[in-house]
Amino acid sequence: MHHLLRVSPQTVHWGYFSKAVAPALTVRSGDRVTIETLTHHANDDHERMVAGDPGAESVFAWTCEHKAVPRRGAGPTTGPFTYGEGEGVGVHLLTGPVVVEGAEPGDVLEVRILDVMPRPSCNHAFLGRSFGSNAAASWGFQYRDLIEEPKPREVITIFELDTTAEPTARAVYNYVWTPQTDPDGVVHPTIDYPGVKVDPATVRRREDILRNVQVPARLHFGTMGLAPAEADFVSSIPPSYSGGNIDDWRVGKGARMYYPVAVAGAYFSVGDPHAAQGDSELGGTAIECSLTGEFELVLHKKADLPGTLLEGLDHPLLETEELWSVYGFTYANYLATLGPEGQTTVAETASLDPAMRDAFRKLRRFLMTVHKLSEDEAIALMSVAADFGVTQVVDGNWGVHGSIRKCVFGPR
């Protein structure tokens, strides 16, 4: 069966994964779902990425009388607030959750990404063209290491996506973030609360930037996964054992992601769509660009896992036509290690050293379990044929991916 899940205030949740919210859709194993997703950075250029789009306008609607999606984060819903409900813990717009019938803890959900399509502008001035935003933000790796004035600063760069041939993106203009006042009268001196609409009259656009530069597009979903078991509302920012904000550009068309199921129904959500991103996502974001994905959801029951690729899987696993990748984090399960406060404190001890150790251990287990190598064989193979890279250094729970190419094992 094929389902369509459009964006609306009733089908998105903003800034968190949850086992406690009402499902947006219920499917069976093997069903296909076309899912619309919105970037939470669309209001960086409202005219290009929100105006005239009924779905986006309905989600981003915010006046002093009405806020379409009031909860924006995994924080409390009762005040007093500084910025707004859910403030400070979670930012990504996620569509879902999608419940999978029969999913139980111990199972594995396979998410096949069949296609990824950019969401075109509905504004008549930009009709049919697609745009995205890159924020060099306060949570970026560079923020306290700038050499030009003013220091520090946050900079928004608006890109246009060209899909007429091999997809590319080019910069349209940029601007330095200046304090923005939201409809509730709260002033935001930095990018500190998702969905704040930037008033173009308050910023100075700098055009003719990144001249003669075309960025190869890699359409993918930065945040995708299942609801964890440890809490009812879990920040969308730090990735963990059930997936989430992994931010790997390889999670695009043709990829398969495998996630261990932690709660009955699995509760799959997807968002944080990206047009392009490099390993590390150094500045804080990718090119944040609303996308629509076509997915096939396949449930693998716990009893059927022994002797398969998924035996013993307790972390996200990526499979493409060319390779398998595992994901190591500073904390493999930061919620279990740090407790509920970990949602806000995990970034204080983020480091690549334990993330690399975690990726090594996960890939070692994969090679020994799935490919039946001895430990010595696995270590030798990793040293000469595996690629370890920095997935991201901006999501609190920093990430390293370990990849092994399928071709090293010969014909299967």
pLDDT digits (tens, 9 = 90+) for 207-252: 999 999 999 999 999 999 999 999 999 999 999 999 999 999 999 9
What is the spatial distance between Cα 233 and Cα 90, in angstroms, rounded to a whole number?
A: 10
What is the spatial distance between Cα 178 and Cα 55, in angstroms, rounded to a whole number?
A: 28
Q: Which residues contact 361 (CB under 8 A, 6 or more apart)?
A: 328
Whole-model pTM over 0.95: yes
Q: Residue 247, by phi and psi: left (phi above 0), alpha (psi -120 to 50) or beta?
A: left
What is the spatial distance between Cα 239 and Cα 29, in angstroms, rounded to a whole number?
A: 25
Residue 261, exposed/middle/buried by CB under 10 A (0-12, 13-18, 19+)? buried
What is the spatial distance between Cα 61 and Cα 296, in angstroms, rounded to a whole number?
A: 31
Task: Retrieve residue 247's tokens.
Answer: 């931010």
What is the spatial distance between Cα 18 and Cα 108, in angstroms, rounded to a whole number?
A: 18
Task: Retrieve residue 404's tokens.
Answer: 């092994």
pLDDT of residue 412: 55
- Helix, strand, or coil (residue 179): coil
Task: Name 158's bridge partners.
Answer: 133, 173
Closest-CA residue to 205 (of 43, 44, 41): 44
Q: Which residues contact 99 (CB under 8 A, 6 or more apart)?
A: 23, 25, 26, 27, 265, 266, 267, 268
Residue-level pLDDT, tens digit, the chain, 412 residues: 999 999 999 999 999 999 999 999 999 999 999 999 999 999 999 999 999 999 999 999 999 999 999 999 999 999 899 999 999 899 999 999 999 999 999 999 999 999 999 999 999 999 999 999 999 999 999 999 999 999 999 999 999 999 888 899 999 999 999 999 999 999 999 999 999 999 999 999 999 999 999 999 999 999 999 999 999 999 999 999 999 999 999 999 999 999 999 999 999 999 999 999 999 999 999 999 999 999 999 999 999 999 999 999 999 999 999 999 999 999 999 999 999 899 999 999 999 999 999 999 999 999 999 999 999 999 999 999 999 999 999 999 999 999 999 999 987 5
Residue-range domain boundaries for the chain:
2-216
Q: Which residues contact 15 (CB under 8 A, 6 or more apart)?
A: 71, 72, 73, 74, 86, 89, 90, 91, 92, 93, 194, 235, 236
Task: Retrieve residue 262's tokens.
Answer: 């932690």
Residue with tokens 């006046």: 63
Q: Which helix (H) or strand (E) holds 338?
A: helix 334-338
Per-chain mean pLDDT for the chain: 97
Q: Which residues contact 114 (CB under 8 A, 6 or more apart)?
A: 32, 253, 293, 294, 295, 296
Task: Name 156's bridge partners.
Answer: 135, 175
pLDDT of residue 165: 87
Closest-CA residue to 271 (of 2, 80, 69, 85): 69
Contact present, 15 and 74 (Cβ < 8 Å): yes
On the CB side of 105, CA atoms within 13 Å amount to: 8
Residue 253, exposed/middle/buried by CB under 10 A (0-12, 13-18, 19+)? middle
Task: Retrieve residue 169's tokens.
Answer: 């993106």
What is the spatial distance between Cα 221 and Cα 237, in angstroms, rounded to a whole number?
A: 14
Q: What is the DSSP letter of 263?
A: S
Task: Name 198's bridge partners.
Answer: none
Dihedral sign, Cα of residue 337, residue 338, residue 343, residue 349? negative
Dihedral sign, Cα of residue 189, residue 169, residue 42, residue 292? negative
Is the bond preceding residue 97 a cis peptide, omega within 30 degrees?
yes
Buried-exposed string 3-26: b where 16+ CB fall within 10 A, e elsewhere: eebbbbbebbbbbbbbbebeebbe
